[in-house]
Amino acid sequence: MNRPTAFVFPGQGSQFPGMGRELARFGPAARDLVDRAEDVTGLPVGALMTEADADTLADPEYAQVLVFVWSLAALHRLRDKGLAPSAVAGHSLGEYTALTACGSLDPDTALSLVSCRGRAMSTAARQTAGTMAAIVGLAPESVRRLCQEACDDTGFAVVANLNSPRQTVVSGTVAAVQRVVDAARDAGALRARRLPVGGAYHSPLMAGAPLGLMGKLAEARLAPPRIPLVSSATGHLVSDIEEYREVLFAQILRPVRWQETVHTLLGLGVRTFVEAGPGRVLSGLGREMAREARHLSVHEALGATPPPTAVPASPAGPPTAQDHVTSKARKST
């Protein structure tokens, strides 16, 4: 049975100590990719992946390169096994892996951009103290209202990640985020807790970060995607790559719209999601939002029977959204 497949790529937060040992399962090509990443970024990628502790890995300067390299190695391994996506998307940082997977960015350019992005976010986080918190069990609009109520002259909180109908992440100044956590618990949230992160990502406290990335992004060659690319910054299909460049400029400040992203992929006919990166965060969110679909980690996809299948691209050019909407999807949307 043909089950159109999306590869989805996780962002910062999916890294873990010792992730290099698992990367080794992808074979010699993964080692070559690590060596290439060290040349491009100047970071000791191999040592960080095998020796760094959780606190070190939480720094965006390191975490973002490591997650990107791991995810790209997973993508290469999936392709080596004959698996290819009919659409791609990435959560925040993962959008750069998705851009590489769909042919919009070459790997070296993507590595350079990811490294610059991580350094810029790390610098912004050190300059202005902030934090994030995950709220589970309250509707996104309720969380948004709690953020508005937590704002005062001393600080603010905003919605940073719309991950699912049940999970929303907030970001902002430490005191205001804590007020949201306390209010969410009083409002009956199943879980409300601060996250062990070094900054208030996807909030105005990151305002300095895009400046450090802007020059490289402006110079980077972005090719039109060869397969459908859904942006997690908008939740929509990317139709104009140059307009999308403007989205990437502001991506660090904007909320991640993962719920909309998954729904857009479902609308394209996708019925299998492969999380091509470390961890299973996106697979868990997907199972919550799309129970009718199949959600696999990269290792599950590599061993799956029958394997995930992809809709081949039209020889006339990149597939459109309409090319990928099945009659079943039309009835369900």
Tens of pLDDT, residue by residue over 173-224, are 999 999 999 999 999 999 999 998 889 999 999 998 888 788 999 999 999 9
* Residues 6+ away with beta carbon under 8 Å from 134: 167, 168, 169, 191, 192, 193, 195
Mean pLDDT of 29-34: 94
Mean pLDDT to the nearest integer, 63-82: 96
- Note the pLDDT of residue 317: 36
Report the b/e string of 160-194 with b at 16+ CB within 10 A.
bbbbbebbbbbbbbeebbbbbbebbeeeebeebee
Contact 30, 24 (CB under 8 A): yes
125 has a pLDDT exceeding 50:
yes
| Mean pLDDT, rounded, for 47-51 | 96
pLDDT at 238 (0 to 100): 97
**What is the per-residue pLDDT for 331?**
30
Which one is catalytic: 14, 71, 86, 92?
92
Helix then strand count (H, E) for the chain reads: 15, 9
Beta bridge partner(s), residue 309? 4
- Is there a contact between 90 and 96 (Cβ–Cβ < 8 Å)? yes
What is the pLDDT at residue 242?
A: 92
Please give the pLDDT value at position 24. Answer: 85
pLDDT for the residue numbered 269: 96
* Residue among 76, 91, 202, 324 flagged as catalytic: 202
Cα angle: 316, vertex 110, 272; to 5 degrees = 55
Confirm whether 263 is a catalytic residue: no
Q: What is the pLDDT of residue 318?
A: 35
Q: What is the reported pLDDT for 2?
A: 55
Higher-confidence position of 67 and 196: 67
Residue 139 in this model has a pLDDT that exceeds 60: yes
> What is the rounded average pLDDT of the residues 89-113?
97
Q: Is 104 a catalytic residue?
A: no
What backbone torsions phi and psi does residue 16 show, to the nearest 5 degrees?
Answer: -155, 150
